[in-house]
Structure formats: C-alpha cells, structure tokens
Amino acid sequence: MTPAARLSAAIEVLADIDARRRPAADVLKDWGLAHRFAGSGDRAAIASLAYDVLRRRASARWLLDAETPRAGVIGMLALQRRLDADAIAALFSGERFAPEPLTAAEREALVTRHLEEAPPAVQADVPDWLWPAFAGAFGAEAIAEGQGLAERAPLDLRVNTLKTSRDKAVAELSPLGAAETVLSPWGLRVPLGADGRGPSVQVEPSFLKGWFEVQDEGSQIAALIARAEPGEQVLDLCAGAGGKTLELAATMANKGQIYATDSDKRRLAPIHDRLERAGARNVQVRTPRGGPPELGDLAGRMDLVLIDAPCSGSGTWRRNPDAKWRMRPNSLADRIKDQAGVLRQGAAAVKPGGRLVYITCSVLPEENDGAVEAFLRGQDGFSAATPAEALAAAGFAGLGRHASPRGLGVQLTPRRTATDGFYVAVLRRGGDA
C-alpha cells in the first residue's frame, strides 16, 4: 500500500471507532481480517496512524475546525508529524486509493489556525468534562502534562534479577538498542521505530528464558516504593496478569510468601505461565471461585498489602489513547467505588505495623488523593507516609518534588519522570509489628 492509501485506511478505521465506540485494537483487527491484501507492514503503519490521531484527536480536529476522522488525520499530520500544507496536499491527492484532495477551507485552516489559540482542554487533548479535574491536579502545568500524555510511549523492560543481571541483559539486547533506564535500577528502554512501534521482544530467546518482562518504568518504580523485603508475607490483591507480582518476587529474592489474587479470574489466568518462566517460586495464586477471592485466613497477617487498584487508566493514555475518548463520568464513579472496596478489603489483611500500598495508573485526584482521604476518614489505625519519607526509604529521594496535589502520595507522569502516569501512597497500620 502507498502512504496515501494507508491514510485512507486510517480514516476508515477511525470512522468505525467513532461510529461504534469500540476499542481501537478491536477495530484494527477487524479491518485487517477484512483486507487480507494488506501486509503486516501496512497494518502496522495504519495502526500507528490511527493511534497518533487518537492521541491528538481534540487538537487535530480543532486545527481543521471539523469533527471528522478526516480532519483528525490531517490535523495529526500537521501537529504530530510536522508536515506542512503542501506535503499534506501531496498525500491527499484524490488519486488511486488516496484521500480526496484538500479543500480550500482545509488548506486555509492549516495556514491560519494555531493551537495556542485553542481552549486549554483542546491544547492538552483532554476530554472537556475531565478538564476541571485535570487542571486541579496540575494547575498551571496542566496543558503541558496533557501534551505529555499525548506523546508516544516508550518500550520499557524490567530485568528479572532471579535469572540474570541488568548488565547481561543490556549486552544480550544490544542489537535492539536497549539502554538502562534513568530511575529504575532494573529497567531497560528500547528505542521505537519510525512508525512508533517497538520490536517484538517477546520472541527474543532471552525473553523466553525469563530474563525480562515488558513493564513501564513507572510501574517498576511503583512496586519498588512498596519495599517488599525477603521473608515478608505479602498480598498482591489486584494482581491481574502478574506484572507487579513478578517484580515483588524478584525484590524478595524468592524468600517469604506472596499471595496473588484478583477479583476477575480471566485477568489472573496469564500469571501461571509468567511465574514459571520467571522462576518465581514464592507465589501462591488464589483464583476466585464464582465470587470474591477467599482471604479470611490472611486477616491481620500481612507485612505488605499491595493494591494496584482498578482505575480510569488516565496515566496510560499514551498507550491506550482511545480509552480517554470512550471514558464517561459514570465509569469514573464506578472506579471510585471499586477503589474504596479494595482498600477496605486490603486493610483487613494488614498486620499491626504493616503497610498498605495503594497504586493507580491514573493522574486524576478523585482516584488518588481523594481515595486515600476517604479511606483514612473511614478506617481507624492507618496513617499516610509523606511522599518524601516513602521515596527516601525506597531509594528515590530525588523524586520527592513529585508529590500529589494534596501531598498524600507520589505522582509520576510522562512530563515529570518520562514514565506512564502512576500514583503511589504508602499507608501504615499502627501498632507493634
């Protein structure tokens, strides 16, 4: 397919996403099945175009003064890929499989409209209804923080220290350009290709041997702040597919006990193969049987309860840009209820002197400081460590300036820390250990 034909395909994909409000990945899969003539390179390029448009949907459409998928593609080419009007016109030629030629109005918009004149939510590429909360989180930096969440995400790996060292992993993955991350002592970052996609690291022999996992550096830092120690009793309450469980096992050097569970056994299913590949031997998986996981025997026994809470995922908009446009106020309210529930459940398992570490991949105060404040009001015996204390104890004292708006946790963002957006609060239960 020619570059122009790929643009036409991207417009078709985006129109389907708009019309049926389906996840982009599902629409792209269906498009590929219906257009089998398109090779893997074509499908990758079309996906890259679609995701770049979704990252900048509000600003791209504003630039063209039109709420259409075509306007989104044209605006993205100007804003994200820095093409001028002539270069865009050459692609929108109307020739074989190319989009229809630019109209006079579209050309004029490309020349005369400037993003700095747009409303703040548009400049930040944040949904209008979320802008008050977003601005409350970041104040004068809100536009810049939103623009950071509209960039492409890097490909980060976590070296599995149960199997190898970071030095050996760097050497093994040198053909991919892997380099050590700045903050995580176990992280590697692999450069993206020109199309915004990283290499298929899951086919590397070192991955199959369990040397590393794909994990954003921010997620690695969040788990490190929890400070799981060898020999401790740990509950990973919202373990999902097991990314942080694996990191906890490595931190604990396979000593002590981790109980990994999740309310949805489908999310938990991949954890078994991942544990075997990683060589993690101190994990007991508790799969729910038609209801909430059974944890009564763990009440008051855990040194650490880790809650990677269900949330809006606003901190991962770089990776899942369609999710921010599908998000609605009622879904945020549902997540806040879920967060309150898992905090109460997790608190029951913490022993006197133990720690409850609350994590979200969100940048919205309602899910972060708001959830912690509500928990502390309703739960006696717990207090929040200051961000400076939590970070210093985990060896991240340099991040102390990245406190959340109300000072109850740490807020990582693409702009601040070059990671996904993560929130971490460390809560302590009073009493003697």
pLDDT digits (tens, 9 = 90+) for 165-192: 999 999 999 999 999 999 999 999 999 9
Q: Are 230 and 109 part of one and the same domain?
A: no
Going by C-alpha positions, the residue among 273, 213, 209 that lies closest to residue 243 is 213
* Rounded Cα gap, residues 91 and 101, in angstroms: 8
Q: Are 289 and 422 part of one and the same domain?
A: yes
Residue 184 covered by a domain: no
Number of domains in the chain: 2
* Rounded Cα gap, residues 231 and 215, in angstroms: 25
Residue 157 covered by a domain: no
Picking from 95, 117, 139, the residue at the C-terminal end of a domain is 117
Q: Is the pLDDT of residue 206 over 90?
A: yes
Q: Catalytic annotation on 311?
A: no
Which residue in the list 47, 58, 79, 361 is annotated as catalytic?
A: 361
Number of Cα atoms under 13 Å in the Cβ half of residue 55: 26
Three-class secondary structure of residue 106 per DSSP: helix
> Is 334:403 a contact under the CB 8 Å cutoff?
no
> Is 99:11 a contact under the CB 8 Å cutoff?
yes
CATH code for position 69: 1.10.940
Q: Is the pLDDT of residue 379 over 60?
A: yes
- Percentages of the chain per state (helix, strand, coil), in multiples of 5: 50, 15, 35
Q: Is the pLDDT of residue 91 over 90?
A: yes
Residue 423 covered by a domain: yes
Q: Are 292 and 408 part of one and the same domain?
A: yes
pLDDT in tens, 241-261: 999 999 999 999 999 999 999
Q: Are 108 and 235 part of one and the same domain?
A: no
Picking from 117, 135, 157, the residue at the C-terminal end of a domain is 117
For position 365, what pLDDT does the model report? Answer: 95
Q: Are 235 and 86 part of one and the same domain?
A: no
Q: Are 102 and 221 part of one and the same domain?
A: no
Domain that holds residue 73: 3-117
Q: Are 109 and 226 part of one and the same domain?
A: no
Question: Virtual CA dihedral for 157, 202, 318, 385, nearest 10 degrees?
Answer: -40
Q: Are 94 and 243 part of one and the same domain?
A: no
* Rounded Cα gap, residues 117 and 123, in angstroms: 9
Three-class secondary structure of residue 350 per DSSP: strand
Residue type (1 letter), 19:
A
What does the buried/exposed string (b/e) look like for 204-233 if buried means 16 or more CB atoms within 10 Å of the residue's CB?
A: bebbeebbbbebbbbbbbbbbbbbbeeebb
* Rounded Cα gap, residues 359 and 226, in angstroms: 10
Residue 144 covered by a domain: no
Query: pLDDT grade, residue 432 (50/70/90)?
Result: low
pLDDT in tens, 249-302: 999 999 999 999 999 999 999 999 999 999 999 999 999 887 778 899 999 999
Q: Are 417 and 277 part of one and the same domain?
A: yes
- Partners of residue 308 on adjacent β-strands: 359
Residue 185 covered by a domain: no
* Rounded Cα gap, residues 349 and 366, in angstroms: 24
For position 38, what pLDDT does the model report? Answer: 87
What does the buried/exposed string (b/e) look like for 63-99 if buried means 16 or more CB atoms within 10 Å of the residue's CB?
A: bbebeebbbbbbbbbbbbeebebeebbebbeeeeebb
pTM score of the predicted model: 0.94
Residue 140 covered by a domain: no
Q: Are 256 and 112 part of one and the same domain?
A: no
Residue 139 covered by a domain: no
Q: Is 262 annotated as a binding residue?
A: yes
Picking from 117, 139, 167, the residue at the C-terminal end of a domain is 117
Handedness of CA 206, 210, 215, 220 (dihedral sign): negative
pLDDT in tens, 107-161: 999 999 999 999 999 999 999 999 999 999 999 999 999 999 999 999 999 999 9
* Rounded Cα gap, residues 351 and 428, in angstroms: 10
Q: Is 308 annotated as a binding residue?
A: yes
List Cβ neighbours of 59 (8 Å cut-off, separation of 6 or more).
75, 79, 115, 118, 122, 123, 125, 150
Residue 360 covered by a domain: yes
Q: How far apart are the first and last CA of the chain?
A: 65
Q: Say how many C-beta atoms besides its own lie within 10 A of residue 365's C-beta.
A: 21
Q: Are 108 and 242 part of one and the same domain?
A: no
CATH code for position 318: 3.40.50.150
